[in-house]
Structure 1
Amino acid sequence: MKLISNTEFGGERPLFESHDLRLENVTVRAGESAIKECSNIEAVNCRFEGNYPFWHVHGFAIDRCFFDVGARSALWYSDHLKMTDTRIDAPKMFREMHDIEIENVEMTDADEVFWRCNRLNIKNLKLHGGTYPFMFCNGLRIDGLESDSKYVFQYVKNMELRNAKITTKDALWETENVTVYDSELNGEYLGWHSRNLRLVNCRISGTQPLCYAENLVLENCVMADDCDLAFEYSSVHATIDSPVRSVKNPRSGRIIAESYGEIILDKHIKAPADCALKLRDERTCFSA
C-alpha cells in the first residue's frame, strides 16, 4: 500500500483512480472529487475541505478525520466503508451506498444524510440539525443514537435501533419491520403509516403518536402526558406502564395501560372496530 503523508491537495481530481493508498495527515483543499473511482483507500487524521471527495470508492476506511462545511456531499455511490472517530460539519453525506460501518461519529449538519443506503451497522452516532436523515434506507443496526434532526427514519425498512434519544417531528413514518429498544422518542406524530413497528421499553412523548399503523406492538413502554389522541386507526397490541392521556378510534387489537384520561370512539372509527382497552389488572375499560 502506497503512503502519502503530511501534505495537501486541491483542485480537480488530484487522486483520481488511485488504488491501495493510505493517506496520513493530508488536507484536501478547495476543489472537487479528490478521491474518485478509487479502491482500498485509508484516510487517517485527514481534513477534507473540497466538494465530493469520496465518490465511487470501493473499500475504504476513514479514521479520526474532519469534513469541513465545504466538503458537502462527500460520500456518494460508494461501498464497504468503515468510519471511526470522525466529525462531519458538511451536509448531504452518504447517498446510494451499501455496507457501511460507523462508530463514534458526530454530524453537525445532518441535512439529507444517509439516503438510499443499505446494510448499515452504526454505533454511537450523533446527528444535529437538518432534515430527513436515513430516507429510504434498508437493513440498519444502530446502537447508540442521539438526534435532534427533523423527520428522521422515513421510509426505512428492516431496522433494529437501540439506546437512542430522538427529538424530532414525524419520526418513523412509512417504516416497515422496525424494532426500537430502550429508547426515548420525543416529537409529534410518531410512527404514522408504519407497518410492523415494535417499541420495547421506550419512553414516548408528543401529540398524536402511532396513528394509521399496521401491526403495531408496544412492550412495557411509557407515554408522557402530552401523548394525546394516540393510536387513531391503528391495529395495535400494547402494554403501557403509565397512564395514557387519550386514545382515539383504534381499529383493532388490545391496549393495556395503567389508566386512560379519555377514550374517544366515535362514528369515524374504522372496521373491525374491536380494539379492547384494558387496565393493568386486566379489567376491561372499554371494548368496542
Structure 2
Amino acid sequence: MELIKNQHFEGERPLFESHHLRLENVTIGDGESAIKECSDIEAENCRFWGKYPFWHVDKFIIQDCQFDAGARSALWYSSYLLMRDTRIDAPKMFREMHHLHLDNVVINDADETFWRCQFIEAKNLELHEGTYPFMFCDFVRIDGLKCDSKYVFQYCRNVELRNANIVTKDSFWECENVNIYDSVLDGEYLAWHSKNVRLVNCHLSGEQLLCYADNLVLENCTFDKSCDRVFEYSHVNADIRGHIENIKNPSSGHIVADSIGSITIDKNVKQPNDCVIETRQDNG
C-alpha cells in the first residue's frame, strides 16, 4: 500500500483513481473530488475542507479525521466504509451508499445526511442540527444514538435502535419494520403512517404520538405528562407503565396502563373500533 504523509492537496481531483493508498496527516484543501473513483483507501489524522472528497469509493477507512463545513456532500455513491473517531461539520454526508460501519462519530450539521443508504451499522453516533437525516434508508442498526435533528428517519425500513436519545419532530414517518429499545423519544407526531413499529422500554414525550400506525406494539413503555391524543386511528397493542394523559380514537387492539387521564372516542373513530382500553386495576 502506497503511503502519503504530511502533505497538502487542492484543486480538481488530485488523487483521482488512486488504489491501495494510505493517507496520514494529509489535508485536502480548496477544490473538488479529491479522492474520486478510488478503492482500498485509508485516511488517518486527515482534514478535509474541499468539496466532494470521497465519491465512488469502494472499501475505505477513515480514522481520527475532521470534515470542515466546506467539505459538503463528502461521501456519496460509495461502499464498504469504516469510520471511527471522526468529527463532521459539513452537511449532506452519506448519500446513496451501502455497508457503512461508524463508531464514535459526531455530525454537527446533519442536514440531509444518510439519504438512500443501506446496511448501516453504528455505535455512539451523534447528529446535531439540520433536517431529514436517514431518508429512505434500509437496514439500519445503531447502538447509542444522540440526535436533535428535525424529521429524522422518514420512509425508512428495517431499523433497530438501542440506547437512543432523540429530540425531534415528525420522526419515523411512513417507516416499516422498526424496533427501538431502551430509548428516549421526545417530539410531536411520532411514527405516523408507520407499519410494524415496536417500542420496548422506551420513554415518550410530545403530542399526538403514534397515529395512523399499523401493527404498533409497545412493551413496558412510559409517557410524559404532556402526551395527549395518542394512538389515533392506529392498530395497537400497548403495555404502558405509569400514567398516560389521553388516548384518542384507536381503531383496534389492546391498550393497558397503570392509569389513564381520559379516553376520547368520538364519531370520527375508524373501524373496526374494537380496541380494548383498560387500566391494570380493571383487568385484575
Residues in 2 aligned to 1:245 and 1:173: alpha-carbon distance in whole angstroms? 23
1:131 partnered with 2:125: no
Q: Matched residue pairs, number?
A: 284
Q: CA offsets per residue over residues 183-214 of structure 1, 9 Å max, x none?
A: 00000011101100000000000000000000
1:59-138 counterparts in 2 under 5 A? Answer: 59-138=59-138
1:14 partnered with 2:26: no
Residues in 2 aligned to 1:26 and 1:180: alpha-carbon distance in whole angstroms? 39
Q: Identity, % of aligned pairs?
A: 64
How big is the shift at 1:278? Answer: 1.2
1:208-247 counterparts in 2 under 5 A? Answer: 208-247=208-247
Residues in 2 aligned to 1:70 and 1:140: alpha-carbon distance in whole angstroms? 27
Q: Once superposed, what is the RMSD of the aligned Cα atoms?
A: 0.7
Aligned residue number for residue 150 of structure 1: 150
**Given residue 69 of structure 2, which amino acid in structure 1 is its aligned partner?**
V
How big is the shift at 1:260? Answer: 1.1
Structure 2 unaligned residues grouped into runs of 5+ = none
Aligned residue number for residue 272 of structure 1: 272
Aligned residue number for residue 140 of structure 1: 140
Residues in 1 aligned to 2:32 and 2:211: alpha-carbon distance in whole angstroms? 45
How big is the shift at 1:259? Answer: 1.2
Aligned residue number for residue 192 of structure 1: 192
Contact preservation (8 Å) 1:254, 1:275:
yes
**Given residue 262 of structure 2, which amino acid in structure 1 is its aligned partner?**
E
1:203 partnered with 2:181: no
Contact preservation (8 Å) 1:8, 1:28:
yes
**Given residue 170 of structure 1, which amino acid in structure 2 is its aligned partner?**
D
Residues in 2 aligned to 1:202 and 1:194: alpha-carbon distance in whole angstroms? 17
How big is the shift at 1:242? Answer: 1.4
Contact preservation (8 Å) 1:256, 1:282:
no
1:251-270 counterparts in 2 under 5 A? Answer: 251-270=251-270
Q: CA offsets per residue over residues 202-230 of structure 1, 9 Å max, x none?
A: 00000000000000000000000111000
Aligned residue number for residue 283 of structure 2: 283
TM-score by length of 2: 0.99
**Given residue 89 of structure 1, which amino acid in structure 2 is its aligned partner?**
D
How big is the shift at 1:283? Answer: 2.8
How big is the shift at 1:261? Answer: 0.8
Structure 1 unaligned residues grouped into runs of 5+ = none
1:150-189 counterparts in 2 under 5 A? Answer: 150-189=150-189
How big is the shift at 1:280? Answer: 1.4
Q: CA offsets per residue over residues 9-54 of structure 1, 9 Å max, x none?
A: 0000000000000000000000000000000000000000100000
Q: CA offsets per residue over residues 77-114 of structure 1, 9 Å max, x none?
A: 00000000000000000000000000000000000000
1:250 partnered with 2:259: no
